[in-house]
Amino acid sequence: MRKSDVVILGGTMGISAGMSCRNHYPDKTIAMIRKEVTVQVPCGIPYLFGTVATPEKNIIPDRILESNQIELIQDDAIDVDRSKKVVLLASGETVGYEKLVFATGSLPLVPPIHGVDKKGVFPVQKDLSYLWHLLYQMDKVENVVIIGGGFIGVEFADECRKNRDINITVVEMLPHCLQVSMDEEFCEEAESALAETGVKIITNERVVSILGNEKVTGVELASGKKINADMVILGLGAVPNTSLAGKAGLELGFRNAVRVDRHMRTVTDMDVFACGDCAEKFSFFDGRPSGIMLASVGSSEARIVGANLFSPTCYNIGTVGVFSTLINERAFAAAGITERYAKEAGCETVIGTETSTDTHPAGMPGSSVVKLKLIFAKDTGVLLGGGLSGGKSVGEMINVVSACIQHRMTAHDIIMFQMGTHPALTPSPIMYPLVNAACKCIGGFKN
């Protein structure tokens, strides 16, 4: 039987947990068990079908494990005996541990739609050979229907139309694509950007049946409308991959994710931790269970796990929810809660908006117009959320908004923000969107 101080089950977030453990506990032995030959960058999968062009360019290299002295055991973990602190592998081998980490990630959500098992229907899986097959099939089709207008769906739609003369239709059951994460004005702008590429968007509709005999020929909507399709992509999100955790007797919570405390220890066993999509989430704002699954959230949890394995000192503040995407070369991003969610929760808000260019003057090469919206609590002035659209600078600007949210900064705090500026790199210091949007809100707060 092999033995290791720390055994990690899983891929992407397991790498982050192992790196964190190595930084905090340099003398500990660490082993990672995974059945996959390679690990895909999950967020990069849609880009294999356009910008990146091949799954081989979307792989996390194993040299990261080697440089952090993490032993890789390529095998399938099929059972865990927590009383003996042993992991059983498909090969028959066993691996003993002192601390065990579940970083088993998620699986694509496959809805109970009639005909979902037909040939030509593709959930978004993270397996290399599967993605190669999907890429090969994509080059042979004419009509693609994408079910789901969240980030996965719109990114697939934007990428799949690149270098291909095919018809793409996105079907979303909500009034807007991206509506779960963004306010209406940004959803509408994103939809317009996607429609400009030739993608057809159908909202307020749901697919009730996938048509065809053995192979898909189309989809039928709840309204009775039928759409031709020789490929259907399921872009409906993911569910926690916790079958092994459940088999090991770990308590599962919201959406069948592994229940953990604020130190990312499982509530069942103090020597077993969980992080990433397989671990239960809770909101930064009210502590309620959260269904947000993001690599940024998972990597934060993984760093907490690595730090807390032998000394629980780091604390999980909860899920803020920070999103960004690129549609037709226009970036969209959001952090925290939306104005719509705040209203539904009965929270009075003050809204500040600002539009400026991300260079100064606006005539600098590569300049883009940035639109920013900030959402503050009316009674306290604390920042609750924000939305952005613009050039690629938006990707980092939303991270600043998130930092402000995490530190519960008020509009007054943000007005005092000291930023570094440069004509070619940032908005003007007198037109800095974050500060100016906050300034516009000052008169709206309760005394």
Are 95 and 244 within one domain? yes
Are 289 and 260 within one domain? yes
Q: What is the dihedral of CA 176, 180, 185, 187, to 10 degrees?
A: -50
Q: What is the pLDDT of residues 130-166, one digit of tens each?
A: 999 999 999 999 999 999 999 999 999 999 999 899 9
Are 230 and 131 within one domain? yes
Q: What is the model's pTM?
A: 0.94
Q: What is the pLDDT of residues 231-248, one digit of tens each?
A: 999 999 999 999 999 999
Are 354 and 430 within one domain? yes
Beta bridge partners of 202: 171
Q: Do 221 and 208 contact (CB within 8 A), yes or no?
A: yes
Q: What is the pLDDT of residues 400-415, one digit of tens each?
A: 999 999 999 999 999 9
Q: What is the pLDDT of residues 149-158, one digit of tens each?
A: 999 999 999 9
Are 302 and 338 within one domain? no
* Burial category of 165 from C-beta neighbours within 10 Å (exposed 0-12, middle 13-18, buried 19 and up): exposed
Q: What's the structural domain count of the chain? A: 3
- Write down the pLDDT at residue 447: 62
Q: What is the pLDDT of residues 192-208, one digit of tens each?
A: 999 999 999 999 999 99
Q: What angle do CA 177, 111, 80 make, to 5 degrees?
A: 115
Q: What is the pLDDT of residues 18-38, one digit of tens each?
A: 999 999 999 999 999 999 888
Q: What is the pLDDT of residues 309-333, one digit of tens each?
A: 999 999 999 999 999 999 999 999 9
Most confident listed range (43-47, 49-53, 217-221): 217-221
> Is residue 339 in a domain?
yes
- The pLDDT of 348-359, averaged and rounded, is 96
Domain boundaries, position 232: 121-236
> Is residue 338 in a domain?
yes
Q: Which residues contact 364 (CB under 8 A, 6 or more apart)?
A: 357, 423, 424
> Is residue 386 in a domain?
yes
> Is residue 263 in a domain?
yes
Are 333 and 438 within one domain? yes
236, 270, 285 — which closes off a domain? 236
What CATH number does residue 222 fall under? 3.50.50.60
For the cut 80, the answer to whether the pLDDT of residue 295 exceeds it is: yes
Percentage, residues of the chain above pLDDT 70: 100
213, 236, 259 — which closes off a domain? 236
Percentage, residues of the chain above pLDDT 90: 91
> Is residue 316 in a domain?
no
- Write down the pLDDT at residue 38: 87
For the cut 80, the answer to whether the pLDDT of residue 437 exceeds it is: yes
Can you give the length of the chain in residues? 447
